[in-house]
Each structure stands twice: as structure tokens, then as C-alpha cells.
Amino acid sequence: MGDFTNSTVEFYPKSQRGSGAVSRGSDASHSGGFGVTLEELRVLMELRGAEALQKIQDSYNSTEGLCQRLKTSPTEGLSDSPAGLEKRGQVFGQNFIPPKKPKTFLQLVWEALQDVTLIILEMAAIISLALSFYQPPGEESEVCGKGTGGAEDEGEAEAGWIEGAAILLSVICVVLVTAFNDWSKEKQFRGLQSRIEQEQRFAVVRNSNVIQIPVADMVVGDVAQVKYGDLLPADGILIQGNDLKIDESSLTGESDHVRKSVDKDPMLLSGTHVMEGSGRMLVTAVGINSQTGIIFTLLGAGEGEEEKKDKKGKQQDGAVENNQNKAKKQDGAVAMEMQPLKSAEGGEVEEKEKKKANVPKKEKSVLQGKLTKLAVQIGKAGLVMSAITVIILLLYFVIETFVVERRVWHPECTPVYVQYFVKFFIIGVTVLVVAVPEGLPLAVTISLAYSVKKMMKDNNLVRHLDACETMGNATAICSDKTGTLTTNRMTVVQAYIGDQRFHEIPDPSQVNAKTLEVLVSAIAVNSAYTSKIMPPDTEGSLPKQVGNKTECALLGFVLDLKRDYATVREQIPEEMLYKVYTFNSVRKSMSTVVRLPDGSFRLYSKGASEIVLKKCAFILDAGGEPRSFRPRDRDEMVKKVIEPMACDGLRTICIAFRDLSANPEPDWDNEAEIVTELTCIAVVGIEDPVRPEVPEAIRKCQRAGITVRMVTGDNINTARAIAAKCGIIQPGDDFLCLEGKDFNRRIRNEKGEIEQERIDKIWPKLRVLARSSPTDKHTLVKGIIDSTVMEQRQVVAVTGDGTNDGPALKKADVGFAMGIAGTDVAKEASDIILTDDNFSSIVKAVMWGRNVYDSISKFLQFQLTVNVVAVIVAFTGACITQDSPLKAVQMLWVNLIMDTFASLALATEPPTESLLLRKPYGRNNPLISRTMMKNISGHAVYQLTVIFTLLFAGEKIFNIDNGRKAPLHSPPSEHYTIIFNTFVLMQLFNEINARKIHGERNVFDGIFSNPIFCSIVLGTFAVQVVIVQFGGKPFSCAPLNVEQWLWCLFVGVGELLWGQVIATVPTSHLKCLKEAGHGPGTDDILDEELAEDEEEIDHAERELRRGQILWFRGLNRIQTQMEVVSTFKRSGSFQGAVRRRSSVLSQLHDVTNISTPTHVVLSTANATGAPGNPSGEGLP
């Protein structure tokens, strides 16, 4: 790291150089009156191990010396005077990393304008505008044929520009709506982000009191308490530690845990995880000056330069990449030219790069995959239809004009003909616009954003949007017991002390005084000093438990025995503890060594009873004297004491001690030798009552086709008792309850390797896994996910709170972390945080997930009906009458109500309990079921019948002028207005039909519980009235009279009646109907994974990530890589540093575009490098 030391400072973006964030206090006076400068601290934090100790020794004499210079006390911490804290913030920086600037509204508008279809429309409109101002000389009109028919008077000719202008206007409308949606989505997401950040708090010592403060409020000089499961929020130096082990893989890439101690390696770095032990650290660097901050800044600086350089290269790239709607149109419109170009260079570089940048990535969400596929299919179909329409129109016109009527093309007629061609082109584009469902990504986004917002109220804080929808498909939930199914308010209710079993808390007089004294000391000293019982907030409520709940139960037991643990802790403060073996998932016990006044040592131990009893050789009898405790005594005790307690659903904890002589001093690192031959003091039974709402929630899950499994560290009897209380296992069912070691024995072969077939024999019946280690949990989750026994792949949700649950949470399809009891590591690995730690909130998440799925299906059912009808009408109309019955501007309006408003209306339907009455859809289930296909085709038949009747016989029915074959620029006819109006009203009523997708009869059910839906339907109707009555030339509408309006309405309401007719037809008889929108096949998933950009992108934009678009960037990237390679050659020494830094990136979620930087510019002076490429791998 040495070569990095001097250059790091130079990495700052210029804007921050002068500001207080990096005050260069290298003047004679030290910065801000502190005895040390920011600069010195940064240099210090670059060092490790012995070097760091040496530096502290040389510069400050000791860590205490550094504390004095930073004006803080290792025991009392800082004083909490706001002025002092403020000053520290100014001198040493604040503990937050400034986020990237959000896109401005104008940028979003610009992105929305990049849409291919919109660009085509804009071009067409501009050409149409230009031509409308050109008036050919009058006398040639005969020569040019029926180009300018006699129907039109002077005023109408003037109005030729209106259509072009109207198209432009409607394009602006669409763009603004899209941009606004993007903008509000971004805003919501940022709000969510900041909520997650505000929730993270950390324990620091101020004025001798330990308080929890938001991480952003930490300052240099704070004394912070670190414990098992913390994610360190700042850099610091260890002042006091117990058996502290840190996982620094996020910074160094080394997976081994690093042991930290005051005398060997005291340097603690931000962004690393505490895997074991506890301690106190002096904060020395925060925010952008901490190790994580420096890396963030590196990336930020890299991006800044990249953008400047990249302006040129971005043009063609941006056009593809940015807009969320482009997804399918791109795919449709560009697919044609793109295929041949996915040449070796573009594709392969891309793929190599993908494989090397192996950032672990969850596979694309199910819904996303299905939608992308469907949208591409629809887009291609639309493209073909629109092309055919244009060709037919052109041929028809050319043949009729030049062949049938034998006219000659006069030069002066060119503008007239071009005007016709432009009109045909606009009709073609209109067909395309209507065919492509650009409302799809919008519906997904709105639906997810709406759900996420509402889920907040249901105590689900969603960190990854797609988790919300995946939850709807969940088939299995592996839940923790403590805190999720139970209240996590532990109390000791039974005890075994001095050969006697007490069924409730004994009176102190019933217990031998000596035994009682040892018991109180053992509990008070051998538990984290951060665990304590506080007086209740309100009169009459229960005392508050702070810290580890099991320890709180034991401390509460001490108070129930009318003793005070605080006095014992005052006599033996934390600094005097000689050695601590902290609790971890392997030991399942905790031991503390104290030095007695006579110089000898006493070890106190507590832990899971069957584990600690195995290490006991003695037990205290009724008189408080130790007697020998043989294996057969132990078996008897297990039978008579531990099993009965466990069968009552109690957790049993054994408390023991051992005296050790001072000379020779024991070898404290040889734990097996020390924690043995213990003397058992007592065994206590701790109750953790089941949450009252859990049994009902589990019943709902089972009804919804979700299997709940309990995975716990408790012993099997306790676990079984609690599982029965919750309803996870029912008498008479065929189920398995296994212990961890049993489970391992069954799933491994002779060589000790895990075999999938073996897991497949177990998991379908497994309901309880007890005494399980974190690896067992991970193995189980992975086994269920990889299993192919069932016809559907299982979708697994996992709950976890401990640091060790991280791997299982990450592996699961949806990971739930506990908001209250969860450690930072668990939250970091999760997709959803349960803010109330309650299992019933998971059921709400399932409900919302299914609701998202259904909302999308409702929208699809509605949208596709409109698409099918509009495309067929435009196509046949154009072919038979040379003019689309629905004009471009009308189509755009239909598109707006169909796409934008309908997606809003249908995507915000609130979930109902009935969603939990069906089985999960499964991953391969089609988006559009047979029932939906029946609805789509049924309604399309009705609408087409009505529209074609009106088109070809409308003038006779209503006794009005015929609107067919009207010449260019003729005024709008009542005939075509009626067709347009009927079409829109049918859509409006069909929107009500679309609210139900499983063939229910009552489509109005719960309609008033969704005010958004009602207001959109009524609003659309009102606007439609205005358009028809006052739209005039721009909308090609002629005002209608009351009778005509009533007929239109009547036909519209017919949709609802027709819906009932369709519902009567049994789907099972319609074998001919195909389902659509299946999940991506396995090959597709592989392609998608290669094509998936490693950046975390918004899900609506995920649609863009199709292999076809990637070659655009491929070309751009080849030149980048050349630059990178040449620069790497120039700056050799830098590579090692990057290699060390690179692995942190796997953890930085918010930093996008790392693994494949589009342009990385490395100047040799301060190589800021491509941090995503460890030592330049992944470069060609």
C-alpha cells in the first residue's frame, strides 16, 4: 500500500480541495487547534499491523497520546457540546459520502425524446408541416389527379398544417408524461435510499454514556463500541478489544478473518464486518477520508473525467441506452439492422468482459424476463404490420394514379405526391405506435413503486425493487425462530439449581447463599456489558431489554432473585476482564476470565446446555459444594431436566465456572484446554413466547401454497414445541424434524460431499431444522433452489438477523432481514428489511408481490385488446379505404389513455386477502393465461365487429355523409368521429372489465377502494368529450349531437354485458387458445446473464439489456480498452494497489457502471484507474 500513500490525497474532485472537507493543515499551526492534521491521520490509516503500531509510537507515543491530541478520552469519549462536534466536522469532515447528482427534469425529457418511434413521428410531422405550406399552382391540380379534391375550400387548405402541429404537440405530451414518471420514480428511490441510511445507528461513548447515534453524526475523536455483526461506519484504531475478528474481504479480497488486537494490529477500516468479539475504537477518519470514502471518491472522480471525455462517444450510445420506453421499440425497430452486426469483435469482448467481471448477480427477475420477451414479440409484429401497411398504401396509390388513370409524373406535382407519401408514412408509423405497448415498462414501474411505497406502511422496507414481485411467486419460506416467530422478549421461567428443579423463579431463600453469589457473578460478568435491563418507558409496562435478549433474560433472572448485577459490574469493570471468548455460531457458548484478588483466575462460561454440560466435570449440590458429574449423571440430567424443559418450548442455558491457578499461567489461546472440567452452577429454561399473530399468518401461507420451514439454532425439542405452537407442523402430517448434524449426515456421501439427490429426498418433507449452523441454512436454501424434483423451480424466501445468515440471505430469491434485531451485515445482504421483525409482515409482502403480478396481467389484458383492435382497424382500413379510420393524433391520444393512464389506474389496485387463496404462479407460468387470452380475443371480436359495421355502414345507420375515401386535407367527417368516439368509449368500459383476470363475474368488486382508478376513468371520459366536441381539425373530429353520443355510449356499455357473456364460456373448451409470455427458457437465461450489465439498474430499464443493443457499446468499448491497456502499460506500480482496492467494489451497490467502465482515463501522475478491473484483468 506504500506507493498509494502519497498519491491518495490527489484524488479529490477539484471542488472539494479548498473546502473544509480536505483541509490541508500542513501549516505551522495544527488544523483547527487539534494536535494532529487530517493529512497525518490519512497517512496513518494507510498503514497496517506493525508499521501502524510503530508510526503511532513514533508520532504520538501511544494510542492514548493520539486521544489527547484529538482532545478525547478513551473511557469517557467526547463531550456532546454541539459547537465542539460542529468544529470537528469542519476540520476532519463529516461521516457521509455525497451522493451522485440526480438527473434534472430536462435531462429526463431529453432522454424520453430519444425514443425511436417518437423520433420517426417527429420527422414525419415536420415533413408534413413543411409540405402543407407549399401550395401548388391551381391549374395543375387537374394534371396531378385527385391529389387536391374539390371538396376543399380555401380555409381548409390553410388548415393543412394542423395535423403536423397536432402530432408534434401530442409527442410533447407523451415525452413530458414519461419524463415526469422517471423523475418521480428516481425521487422515490432516493427517498428510500436515504431512509435506509438514516436507520443505521451506531453506539458511541459521549460523556461516559453509551448512546446510539445515526452513523452520519459520527466525528473524528468519537469512541465507538464495536460488536459482533457490526458494519464499521468509519476508520479507527482499536483501544480495547475482546477476541475481535474482522472480515476485511470487502477491502482486501482476503476471505480469512483478521484478528485485531491493541498490541498487534489495531487498525479498523470502514466497510469491514465484525465477525466475532467486541471492543472500542477511536474514530480517526470519516466520510470521504475513510477507506471506503476514498474508493467512492476515486470512482466519482473517474466518472467525472469519463463524462467529459465521453460526450462525443456517448451520442450513439446514449440514444440507445437511456430511455426506459425504448426497450421494445428498439428491439423491434433496430432488430432488423442489428443482427448481422453482432460481430465477433463486439459480442466477444463484451462476453469476455462479463465473465471476468464476476460480480455475483441474481438472475433477472421472473416478471422482467417474461415481459421483455413478450414486448419484443409484440414490437416485431407491430413493425411488420406497419411496414406492410405503408407498402400496400404506396402500391395502391401508385398503381391507381399512374397505371389505371395513366397519369404522367409532372415535376410540379412532386410536392402533392410527396404529401400523399408522407400521409401514408404517418399512417404506418401510427400503426407502429399503437402496436408497441410502451405502457408496459411504465406499468411495471408504477406498480412496483406504488407497492414499495405502500409496503413501507406494512413494515416492509424494500431494498431491491424486484424482490417485491419475486415474493408473489414464493413457494417456500425458511424462517428463523427467535424474534421472527417469537416475540424476542426472553424471560427465565424455570431453573435447576443445587439438585432441585424449580418450575417457577425460586425465592432467594430457597437457594444456597454461596451458589447464589457465584451464579450472580457468573451472569453479571459473563455477558456483554452492553446488555442491560432499563426501567420501562411508561408506568406499569415491562422493563426495557437492551442488547442481547438471552443475556437480558439472565440479567432479569438476577433481578428476580433480588440481587443487582450492576454492583458486580462496578467492582469488575469491562477493562478488568482478563480474556473473553465471545459467542459465535461454532462455539455456541461464551466464556470470560477474571483475575481474583489472590492472583488466581476464574473462568465463567454459559451457553447451550448440551454443549456446556459436556465440558462439565463437577456440579454444585444443594449445599453449594462441587461434586463429581459423570457422563451418566449428564444423561440423566438431559432426560430429567433438559428434555422436559425443551418440550415446554423453553431454551435451556447452562451456567458454569472453573478456577485456574496463576502459575504456571494457562495458555489462553488453547481454548479446548481451558474451557473444560467446568463446574455446573445452574441450568435455566428461557421462554420466548410465540407472537400472537404468527399462527394465523402461517395458516395463510399454507393456504396460499407456501411451505414454511423453521431453521433455528435451538435444540430439537424446543424447536419442535414452538413449531407445533405456530402451526408449522400439525399432528398427523408427514414431516421431518432434523438436527443439523443429522441433516449433514444424510445429505453427504462417503467423501463428505453434498449430493443434490440426497437433499432432494429430504427437503420436501423437512419442516424443522434445529441446532443448525449458518452453513446448514445456506446448504438447505441452495438445495431447495437447485432442486428439480418438482415441475416448478422453487422460489425461496429466507429470514435472518445474524451476521452468519448473510450467505443464506444472499443465496435466497428474497432475503428478509430483521430491522430491529438484525445486524448491519444481514441488512446489507437482504432484499427486504422487516421493520417490525414480524413474520406476519412477510405474508403482507407475499400479498403485495402477487398484487404486482396481477396488476401487470390486468394491464396486459387491457392493453393487448386495444393493440389488437387498433392495429387491425388501422391496417384493414388503410388497405381498403386508403386512409386509417383512426388518425395519427387520435391514435396518440388512445395510446396516452391506454398506456399511461391505464397503467396508472390498473397498477394501483390495492391487494385483497383473496390473493392468498390461490397457489403461486410459478416461474414458467405464462403472463397471459388462457382465461386472459379468451378475454382478449372475445373483446377484440366485439370491438372489431362494431367498428367495421360503423366504417362500412355507419353513414346509412346514422344518415350522415360518407367519410371513406375523403381527399387529402378534407374537413373531419362525423362518420369517422363516431368511429373514433365509439372506439375510445369501448376501451373505457373494457378498462373496468380488465380489473378481473381470473374470470370473476363482478368486475365492480372493490372499485371504490381505488380512488385513482375512478378518477382516471372519469377524467378520461371528460377529456374525450372535450376532444370530440371542440377538438376540430387538429384531432380530426366533428362535433356530435346528443343522439349520436348516446349511441356511442350504448355500444361502450355493451362491453360490460359482453364481458359477462365471455365469462360464461368455459375456458377448458377453448383448447385452440395459446398462452403467451412464458418465462425465459434456459438458453435465454444464459444469454441474458451474459448480456446483463453488471451495474444495478432500474428495472424498467432492465428491458434495454438485450444482447442486440450491446454491440453499440461494444464498438465504443474497444477503443476504451485500447486506452486503458496502453495506460496500464505506462503505470506499472499502480496495478498492485488497484488489485487490493478492487474487491471492495463487489459491495458498493450504488456505484453503477463499474465493472465495465465506458471510458476510463488514467493519467500516469495519479492513476485513478478502472477500479472494477482487478489488476487489469477483463481487459483484452
DSSP-derived secondary structure for 188-239: HHHHHHHHHHHH-EEEEEETTEEEEEEGGG--TT-EEEEETT-B--SEEEEE
Mean pLDDT of 436-448: 69
**868 CB contacts (<8 Å, ≥6 apart)?**
936, 937, 940
In whole angstroms, what is the distance from residue 17 CA to residue 23 CA?
8
Average pLDDT of the chain is 75
Cα 259 to the chain's mean position, in Å? 33
pLDDT value at residue 168: 77
Q: How far apart are CA 704 and CA 915, in angstroms?
A: 8
Confidence check: pLDDT of 220 > 60? yes
Q: In 3-state terms, what secondary structure has residue 283?
A: strand
pLDDT of residue 825: 75
Cell of 428: 404506418
In the structure grid, which three cell numbers stand for residue 387, read together? 411496414
Nine cell digits for residue 435? 402496436
In the annotation, is 480 catalytic? Answer: yes
pLDDT at position 1080 is: 52
Q: pLDDT at position 617, please?
A: 92
3-state SS of the chain: helix, strand, coil percent to 5? 55, 15, 30
527 alpha carbon, distance to own chain's centre: 36
CA gap 990, 372 in Å, rounded: 25
CA distance linking residue 1027 with residue 1021, whole number of Å:
10
pLDDT at site 1087:
42
Q: Is the pLDDT of residue 919 over 50?
A: yes
Q: How far apart are CA 94 and CA 796, in angstroms?
A: 40
DSSP state letter for 33? G
The verdict on pTM exceeding 0.75 is no
Q: What are phi and psi of 807, to 5 degrees?
A: -60, -45
Tell me what pLDDT residue 618 has: 92
Most confident of 723-737, 1108-1122, 1138-1152: 723-737
726-781 pLDDT, tens digit per residue, is 899 988 888 889 988 899 888 888 888 888 888 888 888 899 998 888 788 888 99
**Confidence check: pLDDT of 941 > 90:** yes
* Least confident interval from 22-31, 312-321, 809-818, 1120-1129: 312-321
Which DSSP state fits 1009? G
Whether 848 and 454 have beta carbons less than 8 Å apart is answered as yes
* pLDDT for residue 1134 is more than 60: no
- pLDDT class for 137, splitting at 50, 70, 90? low
DSSP β-ladder status, 707-711 and 476-479 = parallel
CB-count burial class (<10 Å; 0-12, 13-18, 19+) for 917: exposed
- The whole-number pLDDT of residue 23 equals 38
User: 397 falls in which pLDDT band (50, 70, 90)?
Assistant: confident
The Cα-based distances of 891 to 811, 867, 869, 874 in angstroms read: 46, 11, 12, 10
Residue % of the chain over a pLDDT of 70: 75
| pLDDT 10s digits, 1018-1055 | 998 999 999 888 887 777 888 888 998 999 999 999 99
* Phi-psi label, residue 971: left if phi above 0, alpha if psi -120 to 50, beta otherwise: beta
Q: How far apart are CA 67 and CA 760, in angstroms?
A: 58
CA angle 1035, 1041, 1042 (to 5 degrees): 120
**Residue 547: strand, helix, or coil:** coil
Q: Which of 458, 480, 824, 837 is catalytic?
A: 480
Residue 154's alpha-carbon distances to 135, 160, 469, 971, 1100, in angstroms, are 11, 11, 58, 12, 49
Q: For 954-994, how does the pLDDT look when each residue is reduced to its tens digit (9 = 90+)?
A: 888 888 877 776 666 677 888 888 988 999 999 889 888 88
Q: Quickly tell me which residue has 408514412 as its cell.
A: 425
Grid coordinates representing 654? 447452562
